[in-house]
Amino acid sequence: MNGYLSGLLSNGTIQQTEVEVAVAAPSVNKITIAYGTETGNSKKLAVTFAAKAKKAGITAKVVSLDQYRLNDLPKEEYFFSLISTHGEGEPPAAARKFYDHIHNNGFKLEKLKYGVLALGDTSYPLFCTAGEQVDAQLEKLGGQRIIPIQKCDVDYEHDADSWFDLLLHRLSAPPTINEVAVAAAPVVIKKSVVKKIYNGSIVTNINLNDRGSNKQTHHIEIVANDEIDYLPGDALGVVPENVAALVDPIVELLGIDRHKTYHFRHEQMTAYDLLKKKLNIFFLPERVVAKYAQLVGQDIPPTKIGLLDLIKIYPLKNNNQFGQLIEILEPIAPRLYSIASSPEAHSGEVHLTVARDRFKVNDEWKYGLCSDFLTCLPSETAIDFYIHRNSQFRLPDDDKDIIMIGPGTGVAPFRSFIAHREAIGATGKSWLFFGDQHFVTDFLYQTEWQNWLETGALTQLTVAFSRDQSQKVYVQHKMMQHGQQLYEWLASGASLYVCGAKHPMSTDVEDTLMQLIEKFGNKTIEEAAQFVEQLRDEERYLKDVY
């Protein structure tokens, strides 16, 4: 019976609750928990699970997938992967090598017994895809799935815990007559937890840039009726709506009845509401364009394009095809914004720092969907949002020093950090590097930083305004100028935080960090790299870049 149920279980065709107690896995004393993470959630779970396993008498080796020795995989017996999904349904960068390895190599995993915990966000069109693919691929390579994949939404703790409890139960159930007793004591995985959606209202929405600036960066304050459960370092997730100026011409061009209702992923809505609030029509991914090409029976080059342009160039055969069009369209993906407030300092509120994204397409200026949506929201508008936890971007103990590199909107979490540290009376020193184009127009939250310098909540502020002199000056140049002091802070235990643009800012900052450690720490390049590695290991070099 065990064999039969294991078979069903391994092909993932039956519900966990049906089988969870009937399969008795052999007693196990060693497992590997390999995590692939971008924002630290999978890592946090891996560490918690390892501690739980230890209590249950099982030694768990915890390893990041980017550190995992791929040659060890065929030797593994019990291998559990905790992996999130990022980008457009992709594995996190740190898991890419592993992901490619299992997809591109035709080896056999005969010994492997495995399970996958997939972290994701149900608001994205491709929910937990990376985890699903790893789960399927390990099976293809011959691995035996001993627990069904558990897909978790952003409030993942409960589902993840239940999954791991069930796993421990399976691993520790001895294959003896005790099986009968075990079977009588079911471990029940409850229904997946749906993430908490807060209903808020805009109370402030102001442009922080002065007249004459090239930028438009808004400080947005949102109040919610509920207590908002977040920590400094977390981000807010929001699903924007499409603008009427885009929806109206689509309705007109398609010649559809805007009031007619349609079904889309468990919801019934009018054609207009679907186009306005649910469907990504702004900039379609290539995979949707490919499906559209099939729908209209035309050759369309693989490209990203807005729905309006698509239907103008390649019209639907008739307006009856609208129902089929809905089926191939995807929901609007959420966007994340670092939270710029602190629950200790701004009770019942979340603050954001949102740059209105402006770009040119064929000589025409366009705005990014969500940043345009948010920066244009008038006061008192209702807004739904959720919290995206970032376990990898947390403040250290109150008495520890922090160095924050946050040019542009990268400054947002550091406003949260300092407000928080002031509110709780933290004693550690703090040093902010801020940068933008011009001192006069782009010094985001200038008066707040100056006040915090006066009160001592902020110890030191170093600014770089790139376009106020003939030669461009960025935060990394200022880091080098203050290299001696910066190195001394790091050598005495400070944590270094970097937030803002991934490219080129965060890579330039990292290069400079290496150079200044080499120069002011009197080290070889290898020693400087080791120093940075140690900062990472001690969770004292933390990045939140996008």
Ligand X SMILES: Cc1cc2nc3c(=O)[nH]c(=O)nc-3n(C[C@H](O)[C@H](O)[C@H](O)COP(=O)(O)O)c2cc1C
Ligand Y SMILES: Cc1cc2nc3c(=O)[nH]c(=O)nc-3n(C[C@H](O)[C@H](O)[C@H](O)COP(=O)(O)OP(=O)(O)OC[C@H]3O[C@@H](n4cnc5c(N)ncnc54)[C@H](O)[C@@H]3O)c2cc1C
Site residues, ligand Y (CB under 6 A): 235, 282-283, 306, 335-338, 353-355, 357, 359, 361, 366, 368-372, 409, 412, 544, 546
In the complex, residue closest to ligand X by CB = 120
CA distance 411 to 495: 16
**Could you tell me which of 128, 134, 40 has the C-alpha nearest to residue 81?**
134
Q: Which is nearer to ligand Y, 56 or 545 (CB)?
A: 545
List all residues 6 or more positions away from 69 whose beta carbon is below 8 Å from its beta carbon: none
Write down how long the chain is. 546
Q: What is the CA radius of gyration of the chain?
A: 26
What b/e string do you get for 293-319 counting C-beta neighbours within 10 Å, with b at 16 or more? bebbeeebeeeebbbbebbeebebeee
Picked from ligand Y, ligand X, none, the partner binding residue 436 (CB below 5 to 8 A depending on kind) is none
Nearer to ligand X, 200 or 233 (CB): 233
User: Strand order in 382-388's β-sheet?
Assistant: 335-338, 235-238, 382-388, 198-207, 217-224, 349-355
The site partner of 412 among ligand X, ligand Y, none (C-beta below 5 to 8 Å per kind) is ligand Y
Token pair 């369309």 is found at: 300
Q: Please, which of residues 321-350 interact with ligand X by CB under 6 A?
A: 336
Task: Choose, by CB under 6 A, the member of 10, 81, 85, 462 that binds ligand X.
Answer: 85
CA-closest candidate to residue 123, choices 388, 358, 452: 388
Give kind and range of the element (H or E) at residue 117: strand 113-119
Q: Which of 329, 355, 215, 220 is nearest to 275 (CA)?
A: 329
Is the Cβ of residue 115 or residue 483 nearer to ligand X in the bound state?
115
84 vs 280, beta carbon nearer ligand X: 84
Shortest CB 354 distance to ligand Y, Å = 4
- Pairwise CA distance, residues 103 & 432, whole Å: 43
State yes or no: residue 86 binds ligand X (CB under 6 A). yes
Q: How far is the CB of 501 from ligand X (least distance, A)?
A: 14
> Which span sits near ligand X by CB under 6 A: 83-91, 287-295, 397-405, 427-435?
83-91
Q: Which is nearer to ligand Y, 366 or 438 (CB)?
A: 366
Chain residue at closest Cβ approach to ligand Y: 368
Stretch that binds ligand X, among 34-42, 104-112, 277-285, 418-426 (CB under 6 A): 34-42
Instruction: Decide which of ligand Y, ligand X, none touches 126; Cβ closer than 5 to 8 Å per partner kind.
Output: ligand X
Q: Where are the alpha helices (DSSP H) in 376-424?
A: 412-424
Nearer to ligand Y, 214 or 484 (CB): 214
535: left (phi over 0), alpha (psi -120 to 50) or beta: alpha
Q: How far is the CB of 210 from ligand X (least distance, A)?
A: 31
If contact means CB under 5 to 8 A according to the sort of partner, which of ligand Y, ligand X, none does residue 37 touch?
Answer: ligand X
- Residue 89 or 240: the one with the smaller Cβ distance to ligand X is 89
Of 193 and 480, which has the nearer Cβ to ligand X? 193
Residue 284: CB atoms within 10 Å: 23
| Nearby residues of 23 by Cβ (< 8 Å), 6 or more positions away | 2, 5, 6, 9, 146, 170
Under the binding rule (CB under 6 A), the answer on residue 89 touching ligand X is yes
Q: Taking CB under 6 A as the rule, does residue 240 contact ligand X?
A: no
Among 32, 41, 462, 506, binds ligand X (CB under 6 A): 41
Give 30 or 502: the residue with its C-beta nearer to ligand X.
502
Binding-site partner at residue 20 among ligand Y, ligand X, none, CB < 5 to 8 Å by type: none
Amino acid present at 41: N
Question: CB 499 → ligand X: shortest distance, Å?
Answer: 13
Sign of the CA dihedral running 503, 282, 331, 278: positive
- Cβ burial of 504 (10 Å; 0-12, 13-18, 19+) is exposed
359 binds, among ligand Y, ligand X, none (CB under 5 to 8 A by kind): ligand Y
Least distance (Å) between residue 388 CB and ligand X: 5
Give 339's DSSP letter. Answer: B
What values do phi and psi take at 289, rounded to 5? -60, -40
**Cα(353)–Cα(338) distance, integer angstroms:** 8
**Contacts with ligand X: how many residues (CB under 6 A)?**
24
Structure tokens that stand for 405 in this block: 């590199």
- Contact of residue 160 among ligand Y, ligand X, none (CB under 5-8 Å per partner type): none
Closest separation in Å from C-beta 370 to ligand X: 12
**Residues of span 375-404 touching ligand X by CB under 6 A:** 388
Token pair 């000056």 in the structure block, residue: 473
Binding site partner of 154, from ligand X, ligand Y, none, Cβ cut-off 5-8 A by kind: ligand X
Partner from ligand X, ligand Y, none contacting 306, C-beta within 5 to 8 A by type: ligand Y
Minimum CB separation of residue 309 from ligand X in Å reads: 24
CB-based contact 454:418 (threshold 8 Å): no
Closest CA to 407 of 498, 510, 508: 498
AA identity, residue 54: K
From candidates 38, 155, 221, 234, binder to ligand X by CB under 6 A: 38
Cis preceding linkage at 504, omega within 30: yes
Question: Toward ligand Y, which CB reaches closer, 98 or 373?
Answer: 373
Of residues 119 and 404, the one with the C-beta less far from ligand X:
119
Residue 361's binding partner among ligand Y, ligand X, none (Cβ under 5 to 8 angstroms by kind) is ligand Y
Taking CB under 6 A as the criterion, which residues in 100-159 touch ligand X?
Answer: 119-121, 124, 126-128, 154, 156
Query: Counting runs of H as helices and runs of E as strands, what totals does the chain give?
Result: 20, 21
Q: Which residue has the tokens 């369209």?
A: 329
> Which residues make up the interface to ligand X (CB under 6 A)?
37-42, 84-89, 92, 119-121, 124, 126-128, 154, 156, 336, 388
